[in-house]
Structure 1
Amino acid sequence: MTFEPEVRERLERDAKQIIGRYPKPRSALLPLLHLVQSEEGHVSQDGIEFCAEQLGITPAQVTGVSTFYTQYKHEPVGEFHVGVCINTLCAVMGGDQIWNELTEHTGVGHDEATPDGKVSLERIECNAACDFAPVMMVNWEFFDNMTPEKAKQLVDDLRSGKEVLPSRGPNKLCSWKDASRVLAGFPDGRAHEGVQAGPESLRGLELAKQRGWQAPSADTGGAAPEEPVRPGEITDPPPNEPGKPIGGDVKPGSQEGRNQ
């Protein structure tokens, strides 16, 4: 199956705009993959061949890139693609339990979609939002401080058509295809909606303001003033002495001290 003429014409027009943003055409491969994914919901063989034609490279080269990055799907996913972070902090805060209960609740596993095509699930290694752990995402929008109960209610609401609002970001969820088009470089005009950064992310900045901390001056090379450590506060260990391995004096090639 190939793209219909009107679809191909539209894709070629968008591809030309994307490629024009880069000094070398091949640099446009990542957004082009998002573009074809926004059309079909996944990167099909037709999409791979389209990208190769537009950039003057081989389908094998496109495939090598598209299979490396997990944001590109090679099988259809749901209208709402739900990611559950199972990396270290989210896992110990409940991410593993959320994943286990959610897969049992929906009957689908990693990169699989429910029979109605509404929801698909993905195990994500990190959502880059550790201060809100455990975190989930729907079409790359954040859902913070989740629990198994909240996660199951979320997918039930998505499948039933209820309006669902992310914890931060836009005031409404877009579809998986629309999210892919935004990632291709075509903004939907909603980047400044909703909460941009939660209180947890801003605590360090607020603390610096309260204590008058400033970054060292790049011009003078001067260091920012240090505040005395209060009793009970933990300081960083002293840096390792230059020229010495972390484990102390060990023979080259020795495993001694590796786990110290």
Structure 2
Amino acid sequence: MEFTQFHPTSLAAGPTQTRRPLISEAVRGAGAPLVLENGERFTKELAPRDVVSRAIAAQLKAGHQVYLDGRHFKGRPFSARFPAITKACHAAGLDPDTQRLPVKPAMHYHMGGIAVDHHGRSSLPGLWANGEVACTGLHGANRLASNSLLEALVCGKWIAEDIDAHSTPFIPLSAPTPRVPFLSPTWTLNDLMEEQAGILRHEDGLRALLEKALPLARHYGPALTASFIAWAALHRTESRGSHWREDAPTSRSPQRQSWTLVDLPSA
């Protein structure tokens, strides 16, 4: 649950309450550099996603602005090369042919939480899992579009064949438990997750996140998810792929950890 990937370059403009448009790696691959407000380059644009995301996050944390500059492509301009991205930029009030694009990392994909066997079966009868939600080891610790596509195709076929070979017994559902009224906290869980369990993590921040999220976990789904991520991140005292601990920056022997709700300390 600790392996949550950030895309390095989402468009940091326009409405803040909606999903931010992603500026594809293809833009950097075509030659657009990442620069600070003074035009200075600060990282290798084609490094792995986690490396670029951390470099941008560090600059933002230091008070800088980060931009993707696609104004100087040779031959065709930005709008001709990337019409769909250009449309998203225009919707945010920006012209990528004449303006630098403000960017920041954004939560992108998960690298798997549900442990499954080679048929994609979980420990819950009748539940199969595949892709970003499944913990198969095929993603590794840093998702790439290519290996997730291969996993979906290959494992998807195996899972479909296994489902066809099974007849899952009907399990009657009991009446749902009445929902406990939930009072929104004064703090925002999204902001707290970004600050304490985002790209750059530290033991103190993860513990602070758990102290606030865990008491709400049994009544509020997002707080439960946040608690699982923070708990797993707190107990992986190393840095690997998308999981980066500032207080434990080196990797050690590969390991897989499994957590259940009963493992979490009671609120």
Q: Would you say same fold, with TM above 0.5?
A: no
Q: TM-score band (shorter)? A: under 0.3
Greater RCO, 1 or 2 (C-alpha within 8 Å, sep 6+):
2
